[in-house]
Structure 1
Amino acid sequence: MSTASDVILGLDVGTTAAKASLFSLDGVLRLTVGVEYPMLNPAPGWHVQDPDTIAAGVLDALREAVSRVDAGRIIGISVSTAMHGLIGLDADRRPVTELLTWADSRAWLQAEALNEHATGPRLHYTSGTPTHPMSPMVKLRWFGEHHPDILRRTAHWTGLKDWLLAVLTGRVVTELSTASGSGLLDMEARAWNDEAIELTGIRPDQLPPILDTTDVLPLSAEAAARIGLPAGLPVVVGAGDGPLGNLGTGAMEPGKAGLSIGTSGAVRMVVRNPAVVSGLFCYALTRDVWVAGGAVSNGGMVQRWLTETYAPGADDAEAARRAAHVPPGADGLVMIPYLVAERASLWDAEIRGAFLHVRQAHTPDHFIRAGIEGVAFQLWTILRRLRMINRVEEIRATGGVFRSQVWRDVVAGVLNRPLTVTAAEAGTGLGAAILGATALGVVPDLEAGYRLLRGDAVETHVEVSDATRAVYEEMHYRVPQLLQRFGRLGSDLR
């Protein structure tokens, strides 16, 4: 039986860092340890990572977090990871490929070929995952065309979550949330889609069994020794970072959208049954709770690039403070922020980024401000499509960029909705812990878990001036036209 001093460990494994967060059931302990690792770009459009480097980072983060508390208080680990990755494992559960991340766009020709016919849209509406180079299903088609020998002889085709579950538990499995982001799922059946499997050229036995996100596996003796926890400790298989972001921010009701900005970014809204709208995804949180929305590839990575390019020697916080002195609208400068292959809402992997309407009077600070606004307008295009499902009345946001006042002001102004910034950087880790508490029977449901574990987390409500709102209202008409014209130009120039 659990006590108020018990602790749940929420593991959030993202694109550039693993974060192990401790949450006590009395709401007092809230501690996060992070370990970073690189994303590699060995060829144009290739964005990969070394699975062993990620695993080492995860184990280090877990070990450091465990060392900060009495290990006997920890009642379980619950796992969240970035979605859409692809790793091949051999029969001994060892990687035979790199991790092809969500940002990897090498399979754009395969995606384009599927979308030229009804097959691509049909797979989207069946799986919930747009037929795009990010999709593991499309990545598998790339392997089939370029490395058919690897495709055939690889024992297990898995995602990032599945690889880390293998590291922690010694089992090769997946769960419904990760499967729903693979392009290989039949959402209605909650099972692998035979048509998608046939299109990839793999065998059904190369895909792992699908568990529920609340299923529990025992921590292996090997991993336990590395972390400093007892073997057999419950490991809740958990869900993808996107759906868990909604849970961690409390965006679990109709009309409330969850917004997260990490390396990438997304806007999502909870639906009770799978619902697919053109240009959006639909992924599982549990068997009975799904999230619909869209993801942009270019989120916080844009801020990092802007800082390195236009404020060398400064950090991101200082660069953002400089941008705050530039008026809303950046004096006409507009950034199309496609530094890597973009996803929602154009889903065109080959369009490149650009600055438009550049004038001599624009300073480096204008470029930084325009980049932040460019990310916000990409998120706004997703919000427009979400209205086809339900009107969005409030946005609850999480992510490190929201430590910056200019990011808060710009996002609130562009999206033109009440914006509440919640739980700073712990939103997804908190979501994992809430799902874990539910799976372990600590609380009866997700809502009770949110009330228990969020504790006294600070929420910041962002107010936007009428003048700022007026500038962005005018840009709501101008920027989409620029995006469409630039999109056609990008297509013509390919």
Structure 2
Amino acid sequence: MGPERRVILGVDVGTTAVRAGAFALDGSARHVRTRAYPLLQPLPGWHVQDPDVLVAATLAAVSACVADTAGAEVVAVAVSSPRYGVIGLDTTLSPVTPLLTGRDTRSAEVARDLRVSGQSRELHRVTGSPVHPGSPLCKLIWFARHEPYLCAATRWWIGLKDYLVHRLTGTLVTELSSASGTGMFDVHRRVWSADALDLVGVSGSQLPAVLPTTGVLRLSSAAGQAVGLPSGTPVVVGAGDGPSSSLGMAAIDSTVAGLTLAATGALRTVVAAPLVDPAETFSCAALTEDAWVVGETVNNGGNVVWWAGSVLEPDFRPASDDQFGAPGLLALAERIAPGSDGLVMLPYLLADRGPEEECGPPGAYLGLRGEHSRGHLVRAALEGVCLQLGGVRDRLAELTPISSVRLAGGAFRHPLWRAVMAAVLDCPTHVAGEDDDAALGAAALGLFAIGLAADLKGAVALLDPEGARTEPVAVDPTLATTYRGLRGKLPALRTIAGRMGEILDEVAAGPGVDWRATTGLRDVVGG
């Protein structure tokens, strides 16, 4: 059986959908299947999911990929997922909690307390993970404060990928990448931090053993039956979605940053050892033992332009599966001059991760005048997202050199997104990767783990030879000058908007006023 009849499966379990890809080992073909599932919000700030629903969707997506490649040998299955989820299990390994996703902010008060006390700085130094409401460390402290009886009934605290790997293999473990996102793992000594565990009130015996991201387990007979694969098929435990995405878009050279933009956005680069910034802004996550991905995820990306389109006019309302703006809506924005004629949007529809002072003020349009049209509103939203990501690049470049940026994600199929982002970055910029870059990265890491590729870069090249031919994005010098001026003004505008938000909160918090309900904020966030 030649290499064209051998495939590896890369599975990326995302926030609202799983994407499974079957990649031919000679790069000649790929088959990608997706399955969606809901993100539930039972209370303000709570964002949860049923872990068994995610497992069922994953099995269905993998099964569809296996059917697409009937007759091919599947050499391994490799897994990727977000790193910030938390699930409690009882002694029978059944969930006693839903999956608390990275978007769940019920522990905001915990994060604030840790910052005020100064404990956040040492936690970040040791774990490489900023203290923020999405952090598993903060979630577990919240459980200890508010659900002590549930904590007493919980035998294990694990992440999403840990649960999925257990359902695939029957083995309960975690891996270095997911562990480094918990806020409880010493990334320098590669062990669970005793100080962090004491703070949380969890013992090391309640957390899974930590494997390398290249650890290999075996598919159980039950899971094999469900997806149509032989039991014993290698299952590579893999890395988190951020590191997997960096690998999938081949942004793993030390001076190259990978920027992904879907509903959310992220900018990351790869370093040889854990790198912790003193500002407590960036997370540091393992891809392998000697490749660490440092960067930041922003919660406000393509969803901001989707929101702008959904609230303007019904005739330009974007489709539910287009998070980046319907073509007609973006055509309106293209007719507006760069800088939106003085209109600026701070795109904080959702609070961002990181220290409180970095989470951003409430979203705001500033400089609004009667001559501004809905095209101005949309362009300002798009520019606001790009300017925010440009600021992430600037701060990251203070820690480690960045010479160029690779762009990936559905947003960059649109010329306007590409042009504005490249002008904001104002450095060599290329479009690379598809929507399945995290699944591809998972597959490439899997190929390396089972010894069918000599190194990570070679693994990506085998599975995606076309990915090496990236498309450069020309930087318009006029746009770059405009956005350079805007970026210089953003800190002052953030301060103004933050103070405005405080004043509005004080006014809205009057007797009998539930401002979140009256403004329909939950509906906006849900959109």
CA distance in 1, matches of 2:97, 2:406: 37
Partner of 1:138: 138
Change (3 A) 1:411 1:35: same
Partner of 2:167: 167
Which amino acid in 2 is paired with 1:115? R
Question: In the TM superposition, what is the alpha-carbon distance from 1:435 to its structure 2 partner?
Answer: 0.3
The worse-fitting range, judged by mean Cα deviation, of 368-377 and 190-199 is 368-377
Question: In the TM superposition, what is the alpha-carbon distance from 1:3 to its structure 2 partner?
Answer: 3.2
Matched, 1:258 2:291: no
Which amino acid in 1 is paired with 2:333? A
Question: In the TM superposition, what is the alpha-carbon distance from 1:108 to its structure 2 partner?
Answer: 0.7
Say if 1:18 and 1:61, in contact at 8 Å, map to a contact too. yes
Which amino acid in 1 is paired with 2:304? V
CA distance in 2, matches of 1:66, 1:209: 30
Q: What are the Cα deviations for residues 250-290 of structure 1, in whole angstroms up to 9, with x where unaligned?
A: 11112100111233211111111111112111111111110
Residue 472 of structure 2 aligns to a residue in which SS? strand
Partner of 1:8: 8
Which one of the candidate residues 285, 295, 298 is aligned to 2:297?
295
CA distance in 2, matches of 1:94, 1:348: 37
CA distance in 2, matches of 1:89, 1:429: 27
Which one of the candidate residues 467, 488, 494 is aligned to 1:477?
488
Question: In the TM superposition, what is the alpha-carbon distance from 1:314 to its structure 2 partner?
Answer: 3.3
Which amino acid in 2 is paired with 1:464? V
Q: What are the Cα deviations for residues 352-371 of structure 1, in whole angstroms up to 9, with x where unaligned?
A: 22221111222222222111
The 5 Å alignment of 1:381-396 reads 381-396=391-406
Which amino acid in 1 is paired with 2:181? G
Q: What are the Cα deviations for residues 404-454 of structure 1, in whole angstroms up to 9, with x where unaligned?
A: 111111111112222211122121111111100000100111121122112
Residue correspondences, number:
494
CA distance in 2, matches of 1:345, 1:252: 27
Question: In the TM superposition, what is the alpha-carbon distance from 1:374 to its structure 2 partner?
Answer: 1.4
Say if 1:21 and 1:426, in contact at 8 Å, map to a contact too. yes
Which one of the candidate residues 430, 449, 452 is aligned to 1:439?
449
Question: In the TM superposition, what is the alpha-carbon distance from 1:232 to its structure 2 partner?
Answer: 1.1
The worse-fitting range, judged by mean Cα deviation, of 165-174 and 137-146 is 165-174
Partner of 1:314: 318
Change (3 A) 1:42 1:349: farther
CA distance in 2, matches of 1:158, 1:102: 13
Residue 5 of structure 2 aligns to a residue in which SS? coil
The 5 Å alignment of 1:125-274 reads 125-274=125-274
Displaced runs of 4+ in structure 1, greater than 4 A? 344-350, 491-494
Question: In the TM superposition, what is the alpha-carbon distance from 1:326 to its structure 2 partner?
Answer: 2.0
Question: In the TM superposition, what is the alpha-carbon distance from 1:488 to its structure 2 partner?
Answer: 4.5
Which amino acid in 2 is paired with 1:403? R
The 5 Å alignment of 1:22-101 reads 22-70=22-70, 72-101=72-101
Which amino acid in 2 is paired with 1:267? L
Note the residue ranges of structure 1 that are not aligned, 5 or more in a row: none
The worse-fitting range, judged by mean Cα deviation, of 70-79 and 125-134 is 70-79
Which amino acid in 1 is paired with 2:412? F
The worse-fitting range, judged by mean Cα deviation, of 219-228 and 135-144 is 219-228
TM-score normalised to structure 1 length? 0.96
Say if 1:12 and 1:241, in contact at 8 Å, map to a contact too. yes
Partner of 1:276: 276
Partner of 1:374: 384
Residue 419 of structure 2 aligns to a residue in which SS? helix
Matched, 1:409 2:419: yes
Q: What are the Cα deviations for residues 329-363 of structure 1, in whole angstroms up to 9, with x where unaligned?
A: 12222222122221258665584222211112222
Say if 2:3 and 2:24, in contact at 8 Å, map to a contact too. no
Which amino acid in 1 is paired with 2:175? E
The worse-fitting range, judged by mean Cα deviation, of 71-80 and 192-201 is 71-80
Say if 2:87 and 2:100, in contact at 8 Å, map to a contact too. yes
Change (3 A) 1:247 1:473: same
Residue 286 of structure 2 aligns to a residue in which SS? strand
Question: In the TM superposition, what is the alpha-carbon distance from 1:215 to its structure 2 partner?
Answer: 0.3
Identity value in percent: 41
CA distance in 2, matches of 1:365, 1:160: 40
Residue 428 of structure 1 aligns to a residue in which SS? helix
Say if 1:310 and 1:365, in contact at 8 Å, map to a contact too. no
CA distance in 2, matches of 1:394, 1:350: 26
CA distance in 1, matches of 2:39, 2:386: 24
Partner of 2:434: 424
Say if 1:45 and 1:340, in contact at 8 Å, map to a contact too. no
Change (3 A) 1:320 1:151: farther
The worse-fitting range, judged by mean Cα deviation, of 179-188 and 413-422 is 413-422
Q: What are the Cα deviations for residues 213-245 of structure 1, in whole angstroms up to 9, with x where unaligned?
A: 000111111111111111111110000011111
Residue 276 of structure 1 aligns to a residue in which SS? coil
Q: What are the Cα deviations for residues 291-320 of structure 1, in whole angstroms up to 9, with x where unaligned?
A: 111111112322332232225333333233
Residue 79 of structure 1 aligns to a residue in which SS? strand
Say if 1:89 and 1:156, in contact at 8 Å, map to a contact too. yes
Say if 1:246 and 1:269, in contact at 8 Å, map to a contact too. yes
CA distance in 2, matches of 1:350, 1:405: 28
Say if 1:151 and 1:202, in contact at 8 Å, map to a contact too. no
Question: In the TM superposition, what is the alpha-carbon distance from 1:91 to its structure 2 partner?
Answer: 2.2
Note the residue ranges of structure 2 that are not aligned, 5 or more in a row: 320-324, 507-527
CA distance in 2, matches of 1:322, 1:221: 55
Question: In the TM superposition, what is the alpha-carbon distance from 1:325 to its structure 2 partner?
Answer: 2.3
RMSD: 1.8
Matched, 1:460 2:462: no
Residue 436 of structure 1 aligns to a residue in which SS? helix
Which amino acid in 1 is paired with 2:453? V
Question: In the TM superposition, what is the alpha-carbon distance from 1:321 to its structure 2 partner?
Answer: 3.4
The 5 Å alignment of 1:347-358 reads 348=358, 351-358=361-368
Residue 116 of structure 1 aligns to a residue in which SS? helix
Change (3 A) 1:344 1:464: farther
The worse-fitting range, judged by mean Cα deviation, of 325-334 and 175-184 is 325-334
CA distance in 2, matches of 1:474, 1:345: 26
